[in-house]
């Protein structure tokens, strides 16, 4: 099962997105990560958002970052 933190909207490079989730603190939890490619396209934990970073996605710029963690 996947839990998600608040989606952040801003123009992020991959490194900035990774740094954001690595340093994210949400509801006193610290083990956040980028969603995997599979999780990104599944709709179990959130609606699909185009322009969102996920693990191993190296496009030049994306707009949204949603940290996730495995429960």
Per the structure, the count of domains in the chain is: 1
25: pLDDT confidence band, cut at 50, 70 and 90? very high
* pLDDT at 11 exceeding the cut of 90: no
Structural domain harbouring 55: 2-70
At residue 30, the pLDDT reads: 93
24: pLDDT confidence band, cut at 50, 70 and 90? very high
Whole-structure pTM over 0.85, yes or no? no
For every residue of 18-66, DSSP letters joined together read HHHHHT--BTTB---BPPPHHHHH--SSS---TTB--TT---S-EEEE-
Question: Do 51 and 64 touch, CB atoms closer than 8 A?
Answer: yes
Question: What's the mean per-residue pLDDT of the chain?
Answer: 80
Vertex 36 angle, CA 45 and 56, to 5°: 145
């Amino acid at each position: 099962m996947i839990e998600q933190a608040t989606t952040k909207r801003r123009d992020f490079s991959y490194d900035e997105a990774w740094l954001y989730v690595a340093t994210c603190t949400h509801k006193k939890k610290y083990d956040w990560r980028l969603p995997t490619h599979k999780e990104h396209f599944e709709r179990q934990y959130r609606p699909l958002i185009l322009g969102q970073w996920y693990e191993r996605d190296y496009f030049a710029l994306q707009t949204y970052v949603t940290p996730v963690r495995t429960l």
